Chains A and B, each alone.
Chain A
Amino acid sequence: MLANPPFGPREETGALMKPRTKVIVLIASVVSFLGAFFWLLTTHGPLSPVGVQVGNAVRADLQPSVFGIGTVDARLSYAVGPTAAGRVLRVLVDHGDEVKAGQLLAEMDPVDMDRRIEAAKSTGARSRQTARVADALVAEAESRAKLATMNRDRDRKLYEQHVISKQALDNSTVEAERAEAALAAARANAAAVRQDTGRVDAESQGLGSLRENLRLVSPVDGVIVSREAEPGTTVVAGQAVLRVIVPESLWVRARVDQSRAQGVQVGQVAGIVLRSAPGTQMPGRVARIELQSDPVTEERVVNVSFDAPPARLYLGELAEVTIQLPAEPGVLVVPSAAIVREDGQTGVWQMVDGNARFNPVTIGSQGQAGVTQILAGLGEGDSVIVYSTAQLKQGARVREQKVDQR
């Protein structure tokens, strides 16, 4: 063996790390990778528990409200039209005009009515003349009867004095009777003539009323909202020529779900939002709840009046109303998102020992702030699951975390 090998010992240039360090680094990285792997699997993969966000049942003042949509309508709305078929002669007002009660709005064509009225008047005049004649005849008959009666009475006296014969008395008696009868006849005649006059007068008056009806007047102070027939159009009885509304009587005829209509009462404050002004809410009040609900749509009709009707309103415009029901102070509420239906029951999910448990509750009204009243099933301070990342099942493993949209 040579002491010194012919080739000198080479320097250990070597790798960057000693073998031992390398092994340690390798094992450390494998372990950390596996750790990351299993962490990922349990938090994101199919094996991970469902993430939930919890909230508490607290006491709060509940501000329930009921929502409905409807149209702007007029409570007092009149269709002005003729009572008999006819032709429109003239229309004096138009869309948007303000009218006063009694104001002439339109007129139907009287056709021959004026002439009939004339005729009736003439007949009336003539009848009055005939009455005068009859009266004169009555006067005449009266005087004759008077004379005859006087003669009879005188003749009676004379007969008692045996001045005249019985025959003469009988003559005057008969004469008197005849004159009485003639008087009665004349009176009856006069009465008949007067009756006739009365009839003719009544007929004349009737024609006058009919003639009045052809004049369409406004029943109230209001605004014309539609002009439905032009001069020359034939309209039938009952058909509207014009429509008048009372602007102060405008309200929103809103439909509210029957299931939520409980608690709506006349006089409650409501907010009205018109479709044409979606940003502005106008104050109003529940004016009337109609007794007749809609069975098909399952809605109740609630009429909400405006506290102060705005300058321009359009009939038929869509409006949304939000009726404020009386506040319920200090009731137990939970976030509405926590209320679920499971197997036909209403309840909440609760996190118990890391598992999801369903707890049936009885709920009351919903408030405006996204909370729902709990009537039974929970106590103050109980925690409920509000949001979850997946559907919950009884007994599912859950983990509390902040649930965000992703």
Chain B
Amino acid sequence: MTTTEPAILIENLTKRYGSGPTAVDALKGVDMSIAPGEVVGLIGPSGSGKTTLLKCLGAVIEPTSGRFTLAGEVIYDNAWKRTDLRALRRDRIGFVFQAPYLIPFLDATDNVALLPMLAGVKNAVARATALEMLTALDVQHRAHARVPELSGGEQQRVAIARALANKPPIILADEPTAPLDSERALAVVKILNRLAQEFQTAIIVVTHDEKIIPTFKRIYQIRDGKTYEEAGEGRSI
């Protein structure tokens, strides 16, 4: 499973909000390493810095110090190494949220194809890729449906397909199963595992859903701004 290079490598990442006596250290030195094709869980209570870590991983906020290497490319080393973070997010990081956050005025295919189009891919090619992704998630028969016409589960799958559209090295999933029941939650995790293997994508799943935690083979616990790696149950679905 592990290849020469980890998909994500976090070294001693810190994040301090504010300055002076009122400063808050949300992250106090986080280390993480995830291989391509791995699905790991990120678990922690609220206030533990979990959201902050996710935002740093998503290149949405700037850490205070540390190093962040993404698929071999150092993108942060005490300062951003890339100027266009939005392009970074678009091309190299996939996001799956608790809510699908699809663009309501685009249909399923266009929602997924939007990312490659933004990256400069021609419309026809992008749509073909989108269809491929939708097929991978078994929602190709809803390819031309509008967002409001899709069921919750279909929307979630389209969202996942969108995350994959540019074939990024990592996918960040923030509580993807929170609103689902156990059957569907496990189905989502199953899909994530499959996709991780198929596309060799590293997936970090931030969750506190007891239903799916046992499925992870590796888990990162975060407490008080630091992460602790531990082995998971790895229960098969």
Query: Taking beta carbons and an 8 Å cutoff, which residues of A are in contact with B?
Result: 1-2, 5-7, 9-10, 12-15
- Known A-B contacts A5-B138, A6-B187; A12 and B151 likewise in contact (beta carbons under 8 Å): no
Contacts of B136 in A (CB 8 A): 1
Q: Please name all residues of chain B whose beta carbon is closer than 8 Å to the beta carbon of A13 when the two chains form the complex.
A: 149
Q: Which of A6, A10, A15 contacts B142 (CB 8 A)?
A: A10
Given A1-B136, A14-B149, the answer on whether A9 and B184 have CB atoms closer than 8 Å is no
Query: How far is it, in angstroms, between the C-alpha of A10 and the C-alpha of B147 when the chains are bound?
Result: 12
Q: How far is the CB of B9 from chain A (nearest CB, A)?
A: 32
Please tell me if B178 contacts chain A, counting CB pairs below 8 Å: no
| Separation of A10 and B142 alpha carbons in the complex (Å) | 9
- Taking a contact as CB atoms under 8 Å apart, the answer to whether A12 and B145 are in contact is yes
- A7 contact from B135, B146, B149, B151, Cβ within 8 A: B151
B154 contacts A7, C-beta separation under 8 Å: yes
- Taken together as a complex, chains A and B put the C-alpha atoms of A322 and B98 apart, in Å, by 100
Bound Cα distance A9, B145 (Å): 12
Question: What CA separation (Å) do A5 and B151 show in the bound complex?
Answer: 13
Taken together as a complex, chains A and B put the C-alpha atoms of A2 and B137 apart, in Å, by 9
**CB of B232 within 8 Å of the partner chain:** no
Interface SS, A side: loop
Could you tell me if B138 and A10 are in contact, using CB atoms closer than 8 angstroms? no
Could you tell me if A6 and B149 are in contact, using CB atoms closer than 8 angstroms? no
Given contacts A1-B138, A6-B153, 13 further A-B contacts (CB under 8 A): A5-B137, A5-B139, A6-B183, A6-B187, A7-B151, A7-B153, A7-B157, A9-B141, A10-B145, A10-B151, A12-B145, A13-B149, A15-B146
B130 to chain A, nearest CB (A): 17
Cα of A10 to Cα of B184 in the assembled complex, Å: 15
B99 at the interface (CB under 8 A from A): no
The CA of A13 and the CA of B142, in the complex, are separated in Å by: 12
Q: Give the complex CA separation of A2 and B183 in angstroms.
A: 15
B183 touches A10 (CB 8 A): no
* Nearest chain A CB to B145 CB, angstrom units: 7
Which chain B positions have C-beta within 8 A of A12?
A: 145, 149
The 9 closest A-B pairs by CB, nearest first: A5-B138, A6-B187, A7-B153, A10-B151, A9-B141, A14-B149, A10-B154, A13-B149, A2-B138
Q: Cα distance A6–B138 when bound, in Å?
A: 9
Chain A residues with Cβ below 8 Å from B137 are 5
Q: How far is the CA of A15 from the CA of B144 in the complex (A)?
A: 13
B interface residues, tally (CB under 8 Å): 18
Could you pull out 5 A-B pairs where Cβ atoms are within 8 angstroms? A1-B135, A7-B151, A7-B153, A7-B154, A12-B145
A-contact 0/1 string along B124-168, CB 8 Å cutoff: 000000000001111101100110011101100100000000000
Rounded to whole angstroms, the CA-CA distance of A341 and B141 in the bound complex is: 80
Across the interface, which residues of B come within 8 angstroms of A7, CB to CB? 151, 153-154, 157, 184, 187
Q: Which residues of B have CB within 8 Å of A6?
A: 153, 183-184, 187
Interfacial chain A residues near B139, Cβ < 8 Å: 5
Q: For residue A366, give the distance in angstroms from its CB to the closest CB of chain B.
A: 73
A316 nearest CB across to chain B (Å): 90
Determine the distance from Cα of A94 to Cα of B167 in the docked complex, in whole angstroms. 129
Residues of A within 8 A of B183 (CB): 6
A12 to B145, CA, bound (A): 8
Q: For residue A3, which residue of chain B has the nearest CB?
A: B138
Nearest-neighbour CB distance to chain B for A319, whole angstroms, equals 85
Q: Which residues of B contact A15 (CB under 8 A)?
A: 146
- Per the bound structure, the CA–CA distance linking A45 and B153 in Å amounts to 57
* Other-chain contact of B149, A1, A5, A10 (Cβ < 8 Å): A10
Report the nearest A residue to B140, measured CB to CB.
A5
Q: Which residue of B lies closest to A9 (CB)?
A: B141
- Nearest residue in B to A10 (C-beta to C-beta)? B151
Mask: chain B, 186-207; 1 = CB below 8 Å from A; 0 = not: 0100000000000000000000
Query: Could you tell me the distance between the alpha carbons of A58 and B142 in the complex, rounded to whole angstroms?
Result: 78
Say how far B217's CB is from chain A's closest CB, in angstroms.
21
Residues of A within 8 A of B138 (CB): 1-2, 5
Give Cα A10 to B152, complex, Å: 10
A13 to B145: give the CA distance in the assembly, Å.
10
> In the complex the two chains form, what is the Cα distance from A13 to B154 in whole Å?
14
In the complex formed, the residue of A with least CB distance to B145 is A12
Residues of B within 8 A of A14 (CB): 149
**A residues near B184, Cβ cutoff 8 Å:** 6-7
Query: A321 to nearest B CB, angstroms?
Result: 84
CB distance from B22 to the nearest CB of A (A): 48
